[in-house]
Amino acid sequence: MSKNDKKNDDGRIALYNKYRPKCLDDIVGQDTIKKVLRNSVSSNNVSHAYLFNGPRGIGKTSIARMLAMMLNCETGQTPDPCGTCSNCIKIAKSNAPDVVELDAASNNSVDSIRAMRQNVQQSALHMRNKIYIIDEAHMLTKQAQNALLKTLEEPPRGVVFVLCTTEAKKLLTTIISRCQRFDLNKINIDDMVKRLTRVAELEHGKSFVEKSDAIAFRIIAESAQGGMRDALGSFERLMIVSEDDNKIDALTADYVREMIGTIDNIAAIKYISHIINGEADKILALNDVLNQSDNKSILILDRVYGLIHDILVYKIVGTTDHIELPEHLKEHMVKASKKFNNSILYSILEYLGGCFQKLTYSPTSKFVLDTALTKVTFMYIDFINKCKSATTAQNK
């Protein structure tokens, strides 16, 4: 059992480790970086240092390991490593001595980097290339980054660095400039749903997936905010809870909403509808239903804010192609968009954007949420009244 095959408290391997990608094709999304790395390896034009920047749980470290396999597979340097040779297996299990993974969150001192610099000078023991994967690279102290800089400037032959970070802005510009940078994206919700469905089928059988609500998997994906690892973690927790209580043979949307505490797009559509209709009382009632605990206030605000943003994007670009909503909900969004102009949308988004910090620090976040969404309703009513007054004045 490798150190990466982390177990849950009951001894089971966590799903995100059990189904960790074994090749580039297994990585969900990130098509650009996969294509570039394949071409780089095929043409023997591999950089000495890479920077993978992006949100957590989207495959940065997994891609770094894939690159290590591509460079060290026993079949030769290849964009399609076999995955079965001794080198590939050791890299996948994180026990290859020539592929060093450094967690900068706990090894962020200048002494840690100096020790690594000494190790860099030694030739690879068993593989063609030595790979250094520095996870959470932004956690390195400034002194540690300066110590790393010299090695990045003049790396020994056969050494490749891969820096993984969620906050590239915290890295020295001199570090960034010496790396080939890739900004990885949040994973598309439809792609996440496909992956979740496949894992559910492998874990619980085809009948489980067929009996489950399709939207249940979408709710899980949406709650993960673009991170495949978080989505798998949520699905796993749902199934563990069900086994502790009464084992379920399918996922329902209501069960997922209750257990995850998420607010889906259907609820957000209801909020928008109440705003358009000036129904502040119904917004308060919906808050009471959905906001059973304060920690859901920010989820509600985030989803309403996100949908209003989507409406603005649609009004600007004139298409829903880049909006991650099911088709039937896109129709509701397009219909709602006709009730707004860009000016009121900007005003609402600016106001709601300032409410997130208040929600985070308020001991009674429900009160903040109630105030925020009812005020938006009255902002919209004032907007409609001004439009009517302007129309009346023009007709006179």
Mean pLDDT, the chain, rounded, equals 84
pTM for this model (two decimals):
0.66
Whether the per-residue pLDDT at 31 is higher than 60: the answer is yes
Residues counted in the chain: 396
Instruction: Read off the pLDDT of each residue in 185-208 and give the average, rounded to a whole number.
Output: 88
Cα separation values, 150 from 113, 132, 178, Å: 11, 15, 10
Q: What is the mean pLDDT of residues 237-255?
A: 72
Q: What are phi and psi of 131, to 5 degrees?
A: -120, 130
188, with CB counted inside 10 A (0-12, 13-18, 19+), is middle
CA–CA dist 320, 27 (Å, integer): 26
CA distances from 289 to 293, 303, 349 (A): 10, 16, 24
Residue 259 has a pLDDT of: 74
Residue 393 has pLDDT above 50, yes or no: yes
- What is the mean predicted confidence (pLDDT) over 13-42? 83
Residue-level pLDDT at 262: 63
pLDDT exceeds cutoff 90 at 128 = no
Helices 327-337 and 297-317 cross at an angle (nearest 10°) of 70
Tokens of 383: 């907007």
Domains for the chain: give ranges and CATH numbers.
15-183 (3.40.50.300), 189-260 (no CATH), 265-383 (1.20.272.10)
Residue 375 has pLDDT above 90, yes or no: yes
Q: Find out whether 24 and 63 touch, Cβ atoms under 8 Å.
A: yes
More confident residue, 110 or 283: 283
Top pLDDT among 190 and 6 is at 190
Q: Quick one: DSSP state of residue 159?
A: E
Interatomic CA distance for residues 241 and 251, integer angstroms: 12
User: 86-90, 250-254, 255-259: which has the highest mean pLDDT?
Assistant: 86-90
Question: SS3 of 131, please?
Answer: strand
Q: Could you give phi then psi for residue 50, rounded to 5 degrees? A: -125, 150
Residue 364 predicted with pLDDT over 90:
no
Place of tokens 């960034």: 176
Query: With 90 as the cut, is the pLDDT of residue 379 above it?
Result: yes
CA distances from 153 to 150, 173, 175, 236, 287 (A): 5, 13, 9, 43, 55
